[in-house]
Amino acid sequence: GQQLNQSPQSMFIQEGEDVSMNCTSSSIFNTWLWYKQEPGEGPVLLIALYKAGELTSNGRLTAQFGITRKDSFLNISASIPSDVGIYFCAGNSGGGADGLTFGKGTHLIIQP
């Protein structure tokens, strides 16, 4: 099946720092999405990408769909305490009806 490698596994940063995480896949993806999960809740969509090379922002978050269609990154600028959580990349290589493949997540911890 499809494999997604997400790194880093965890990040310990100071408030105000920028954050960068990425995902690579073993196959070409047509869709890349980035989700955030907080304790006791389901994942919530942050950014969706549908075209190779696409760069999309959502406030302090920026994500890009890699040109090769096998990778994506998420950047968070000027981190704040409420950014704490687990960030997941997800994607699909087909039409999407058969569900998304998820990365293992990046656990973001912010020290004030």
- Footprint of other proteins on this chain (CB under 8 A)? 1, 4, 6, 9, 30-31, 33, 35, 40-45, 48, 50, 88, 90, 92, 95-105
Alpha-carbon distance of 96 to 52, in angstroms, equals 16
Q: Cβ contacts of residue 51 below 8 Å, gap of 6+?
A: 65
Closer residue to other proteins (CB): 44 or 78: 44
Least distance to other proteins, CB of residue 66, Å: 17
Sign for the pseudo-dihedral over CA of 112, 14, 88, 53: positive
Closer residue to other proteins (CB): 53 or 96: 96
Least distance to other proteins, CB of residue 104, Å: 4
Q: What pairing do the DSSP bridges indicate for beta strands 71-76 and 61-65?
A: antiparallel
Closer residue to other proteins (CB): 14 or 35: 35
Least distance to other proteins, CB of residue 107, Å: 9
Least distance to other proteins, CB of residue 15, Å: 25
Q: What pairing do the DSSP bridges indicate for beta strands 101-102 and 71-76?
A: unpaired
Alpha-carbon distance of 12 to 31, in angstroms, equals 29
